[in-house]
Amino acid sequence: MEIEKVYEPQRFEPRWAQWWIDRGFYTANPKNPGRMFSLVIPPPNVTGILHMGHMLEHTEIDVTVRWHRMKGDNTLWLPGTDHAGIATQMVVERKLAEEGLDRRKLGREEFERRIWAWKEESGDSIKRQMIRLGTSCDWSRERFTLDEGLSRAVREVFVRLYEKGLIYRGEYMVNWCPRCQTAISDLEVVHEETNGHLWHIAYPVNGTDERLVVATTRPETMLGDTAVAINPKDARYFGIHGKTVRLPLMDRDIPIILDEMADPLFGSGAVKVTPAHDPNDFEAGRRHNLPLIQVIDGNAKMTAAALAYAGLDRFEARKRVVKALQEGEYLVKIEPHQLSVGKCQRCKTVVEPLVSKQWFVKTKPLAEPAIRVVEDGRIQFVPDNWSKTYFEWMYNIRDWCISRQLWWGHRIPAWHCAMCAKITVAREAPAVCRHCGSAELAQDPDVLDTWFSSGLWPFSTLGWPDQTEDLAKYYPTSLLITGFDILFFWVARMVMLGIECMGEVPFHQVYIHGLVRDADKQKMSKTRGNVIDPLVVTEKYGTDAVRLSLLLGAAPGTDIVLTEERMESARAFANKIWNASRLIFMNMERSGVSPWITAERDCCLPEKDGETAPLEDRWIFSRLNRCAEQVNRAVEQHRYHEAAQTLWHFVWHEFCDWYLEVKKLRLVENSGADVHWRNLLTVYEMALRLLHPVMPFLTEELWQRLATGVVDRAETISLANYPQFNEAAVDAQAEDEMSILQGIVTAARELKSDLKVDKKTILVGTLVLREKAVTVGAAQLAVIEKLGGLKLTLGTQAAGVVRSSPEFDLIVQAPDVVAEGGGDAQKVRLRKENEQLEKVISSSNRQLGDEKFTGRAPAHVIDTLRQKLAEYEAQLRKNKEVLGE
């Protein structure tokens, strides 16, 4: 049982990580027995390396997955990556720019080749990283959204939806990013509050002396105005109904239209209408059959239609238009105005609303069943309040623009005919046009929104549209663990498309985790420069410590503040386990105990040693049982912080601080004959198993050492049984007795501390035990003496400094220190304690004397209060006795 002196996780973590993969322990088999548990990874983008948010997500998933696997479930965790269309294309374009190249120069084919090369590289490093972090997924089932199989699924879904009329192509107003040169969906536009202006412009009303004042935040768009709207009920303007206005700068006459869109209470009550550059105006234009004059193009430059302003950038044009309006005395007012400006999520360029021909998914029919499955509980959100957010979005859902003018992604399976100009949509490239038979077909150049393929992930990865064994076994998946930032982008789309394509929800439960933040609660981001690289801290503190520090902060519904201090303390815990193991292993060797692993699967009672098992064994087995109960429940409910805290407390403050301390005494006394190794090793081994999902590396390392040479066991701790709570293993009596023993030891330490005695001074004392404590009696006296640092005799009252409880009197004979006033600290302590006791006692008495309380409170509440009151009173009496009051 060799064990290195220092805990150095770097030495063994990479080895186990690789071994787990090499041995294929986590390869799922649909034919295996056990309850099914399946989960697909939220595929990381192949844009770069994984960050702390991924590590948190993967750690929570891994804990859950390892736990299910150890419980004997038929478990699948399917890994993979997302091609992340626009994001990846941007990364590669940026790299090209560094080489002085751009994608247009390279051409589509060569550009795609470059991105694939990048993808291979990035995908590999993501996989390496995940393996290093201990993720126990099934790499034999790894998928990528652009794989042939998944691409086939994408085409299949596209064709089906098209044929059902749920995908259509049309000319509508879309969000256009002039930098990315593509349309983007509403979700990809982020709104930023900006301090802008409201320009009030006067349009002369033809045939009158009046001028109609309109207000706008974008004066440059007036060049494309094709009407001015007023509210039909607005009395101020009854006189100009049916007239036209003269558009300044352009010298065009445009009609005054009557439309509810004009709010009489806003500004002058008149609105300029620019159908080509504003979504509202676009709709108004349709209602009133207005012409569309596009004055801004896809590059955000003014078009020829902008006449004198043609070729200018939109913001430069704004300045010039304002200046010209001022000069022509059309500008009546400029006021500061706060507005929210839509920007491209990826590059932060101000989005330009433009009319263009795009592909859309009709979402209303898909949203209805997607709402129902959450309402009726077929999909459950944890924490539950996220379902409200989900509903909110689903109720107000709008059609989804799915075409992107990019080169990286799934090419839209639609072919345009050069002869008849009609479209043929097909699963595979058609030879001839479906409408006219012409062979002059060209595939639509656009690709699909990256979320279209991610939306199919839970079933496309399992082989759909083929009816595979995996699909039959593992769909619907059991659980999805992801972040709220992609609730609409991804989760909502998966629900809609899962139900549509499979007729069944894609997962039964969605656990939404928090955000990883830095010490100042700031979001971690590259631009802020506050990112913690998982590989760096993993190397520094060990993966187990980082995992643990993440989990300890992972309370549902809260963000996770991650600091290196936390990782240090988590490492201290790992170090504690390591050293406790050293104690055990070294003494096994010294005592000639051979490696041994218990055959017990679940929590059990200790083996007896004669009449009964030693108190510390009975106690720790009962505590282990309680710990298992709590940890199992906590993981089940995604209360990862609670699972981690429970394990921490059990291992450190019960197993190490008390149990092993007692065992150490047994080791030196009676030549170690009273240790009862089988009990010690059983609880140790079960503790390792309980810890394994949280700290896989450390536990595997120690477990393998413990199991050296043991035949007929699991090959890895990750496939050993997860200990379950066992009603029969509760030992309340042992817990009571142990707590009395702990009370006596603590009392002894208190006295020593209050008397300020040197540790070398062995105090002589007397212990008087009362009925309840009899079983602790003589058998445990040596333990109390050693742990308390006293030399005790039992049973005879004597003079000295006293610490009393209803169970015992501990009397220390220390005439010297008492004479020097050393007992004062003890008196201060007792008086303070009495103050508190008196407070609680009086309030308890008040309640028990109140008929309203005794009449309405449940019996058990009253009982425990009475019981506690009796204990407080007994303690108060003892303290007063000691103080001589």
Partner RNA sequence: GGGCUCGUAGCUCAGUUGGUUAGAGCGCUUCCUUGACACGGAAGAGGUCGGAUGUUCGAGUCAUCUCGAGCCCACCA
Q: Tell which positions 263-292 bind RNA, by CB under 7 A.
A: 263-267, 269, 271-272, 278-280
All residues at 6 or more sequence positions from 791 whose CB lies less than 8 Å from its CB, including other chains: 762, 763, 764, 765, 785
Q: Which CB sits closer to RNA, 62 or 259?
A: 259
Q: Does 557 bind RNA (CB under 7 A)?
A: yes
Residue choice 389, 468, 530, 704 for contact with RNA (CB under 7 A): 389
Residue carrying structure tokens 């009920």: 233
Positions in 161-200 near RNA (CB under 7 A): 186-187, 190-191, 198
CB of 375 to RNA, least distance (A): 16
Shortest gap between Cβ of 421 and RNA (angstroms)?
32
Of 19, 116, 596, 652, which one interacts with RNA (CB under 7 A)? 652
Binding-site size, RNA (CB under 7 A): 100
Distance CA 532, CA 632 (A): 31
**498 by DSSP, 3-state: which?**
helix
Interface stretch with RNA, choices 29-37, 320-328, 424-432, 868-876 (CB under 7 A): 868-876
Residue span binding RNA (CB under 7 A) among the ranges 10-18, 36-44, 768-776, 863-871: 863-871
| From 160, 320, 346, 582, residue interacting with RNA (rule: CB under 7 A) | 582
Does residue number 154 form part of the binding site for RNA (CB under 7 A)? no
The answer to whether the beta carbons of residues 689 and 721 sit under 8 Å apart is yes
Which residue in 857, 873, 880, 882 binds RNA (CB under 7 A)? Answer: 857
Closest to 138 in 3D by CA, of 476, 470, 475, 498: 470
Region 526-555 residues binding RNA, contact defined as CB under 7 A: 553, 555
In the complex with RNA, which residue's Cβ is closer, 433 or 554?
Answer: 554
Lay out the site mask for RNA across 356-375 (x = CB under 7 A, - = otherwise).
--------------------
Are the beta carbons of 700 and 716 closer than 8 angstroms?
A: yes
Cβ(358)–Cβ(174) below 8 Å: yes
At its nearest, how many Å lie between RNA and the CB of residue 203? 13
| Upper half-sphere CA count for residue 525 (Cβ side, 13 Å) | 5
Report 612-641 residues binding RNA (CB under 7 A): 641
Residue 583 touches RNA, criterion: CB under 7 A: yes
User: Hey, which residues does 360 pair with through a beta bridge?
Assistant: 168, 401
From the number of C-beta atoms within 10 Å of its C-beta (0-12, 13-18, 19+), residue 484 rates as middle
| Residue 834 binds to RNA (criterion: CB under 7 A) | no
Tokens matching residue 808? 């015992």
Is there a contact between 819 and 755 (Cβ–Cβ < 8 Å)?
no
* DSSP reduced 3-state for 195: strand
Quick one: 422 or 653, whose CB is closer to RNA?
Answer: 653
Applying CB under 7 A, which part among 69-77, 296-304, 430-438, 861-869 lies near RNA? 861-869
In whole angstroms, give the CA distance from residue 581 to residue 1: 10
Q: Is residue 399 close enough to count as binding RNA by CB under 7 A?
A: no
Pairing status of strand 80-81 against strand 143-144 = parallel
Q: Interaction with RNA in 434-453: which residues (CB under 7 A)? A: none
> Is the Cβ of residue 120 or residue 636 nearer to RNA in the bound state?
636
Does the CA dihedral 317-320-322-324 come out positive or negative? negative
Does 566 interact with RNA (rule: CB under 7 A)?
yes
Q: Which of positions 711-750 make contact with RNA (CB under 7 A)? A: 746, 749-750
The residue to which tokens 């996989």 are assigned: 127
Q: Is residue 586 within the footprint of RNA (CB under 7 A)? A: yes
What is the pattern of x (binds RNA, CB under 7 A) and - over residues 231-250?
A: --------------------
Closest distance of CB 327 from RNA, Å: 22
Residue 797 within binding range of RNA, rule CB under 7 A = no
Identified binder of RNA from the candidate list 601, 664, 827, 880, rule CB under 7 A: 664
- Indicate the residue among 746 and 797 with the shorter CB distance to RNA: 746
- Binders in 488-507 for RNA, by CB under 7 A: 488
Looking at the Cβ atoms of 160 and 649, the one nearer to RNA is: 649
- What letter would DSSP give residue 642? H
Report the distance separating Cα 488 and Cα 449, nearest Å. 14
Supply 87's token pair.
Answer: 């994001």
Considering only residues 3-62, where is the footprint of RNA by CB under 7 A?
Answer: 6-7
Using the minimum distance from each CB to RNA, give the nearer residue, 262 or 417. Answer: 262
Q: Is 784 exposed, middle or buried (0-12, 13-18, 19+ CB in 10 A)?
A: buried
**Do 544 and 695 touch, CB atoms closer than 8 A?**
yes
Give the separation between CA 701 and CA 578, rounded to whole angstroms: 10
**558 sits near RNA (criterion: CB under 7 A):** yes
Residues 88-147 close enough to bind RNA by CB under 7 A: none
3-state DSSP call for residue 310?
Answer: coil
Cα–Cα distance between 650 and 268 in angstroms, integer? 71
Cβ closest to RNA, residue 144 vs residue 488: 488
670 scored as a contact of RNA (CB under 7 A): no
DSSP conformation class of 187? G
- The token duo for 367 is 């949203």
**The tokens 């009557």 sit on which residue?**
258
**CA triplet 860, 866, 868: central angle to 5 degrees?**
100
Inter-CA distances, 713 with 72, 650, 710, 716, Å: 15, 26, 7, 8
Choice from 753, 797, 842, 845 touching RNA (CB under 7 A) = 753
* Residue nearer to RNA on the CB measure, 291 or 383: 383
Nearer to RNA, 211 or 337 (CB): 337
Point out which residues pair with 481 in neighbouring strands. 511
Given the complex with RNA, which of 165 and 395 has the nearer CB atom?
Answer: 395
> At its nearest, how many Å lie between RNA and the CB of residue 599?
26
Among residues 444, 533, 559, 736, the one that binds RNA under rule CB under 7 A: 559
* Residue spans of beta strands (DSSP E) within 225-285: 227-230, 244-247, 252-258, 270-273
Residues 6+ apart with CB under 8 A from 686: 598, 600, 603, 624, 628, 723
Is there binding between residue 872 and RNA (CB under 7 A)? yes
Give a three-class secondary structure readout of 762-829.
CEEEEEEECHHHCCCCHHHHHHHHHHHCEEEEECCCCCCEEEECCCEEEEEECHHHHHCCCCHHHHHH
Among the candidate windows 134-142, 373-381, 525-533, 658-666, which touches RNA by CB under 7 A? 658-666
From 63-71, 139-147, 685-693, 848-856, span contacting RNA (CB under 7 A): 848-856
Among 160, 179, 411, 576, binds RNA (CB under 7 A): 576
Say how many C-beta atoms besides its own lie within 10 A of residue 364's C-beta: 11
Q: Which is nearer to RNA, 83 or 641 (CB)?
A: 641
At its nearest, how many Å lie between RNA and the CB of residue 707?
20
Q: Which is nearer to RNA, 119 or 641 (CB)?
A: 641
Interface positions, 337-356, toward RNA (CB under 7 A): 337, 339-340
Q: Output the smallest distance, CB 263 to RNA, in A.
A: 4
Record the tokens describing residue 114, joined without a space: 């470059």
For the segment 300-339, give every residue that binds RNA (CB under 7 A).
337, 339
Q: Which is nearer to RNA, 215 or 331 (CB)?
A: 215
Helix (H) or strand (E) holding 404: strand 403-404
Site track 457-486 with RNA (rule: CB under 7 A), x = hit: ------------------------------
Helix (H, G, I), strand (E, B) or coil at 111: helix
The distance of closest approach from Cβ of residue 380 to RNA in the complex, given in angstroms and rounded to an integer, is: 15
DSSP reduced 3-state for 5: coil
Q: How far is the CB of 761 from RNA (least distance, A)?
A: 11
Centre a 10 Å sphere on the Cβ of residue 529 and count the other Cβ atoms it contains.
7
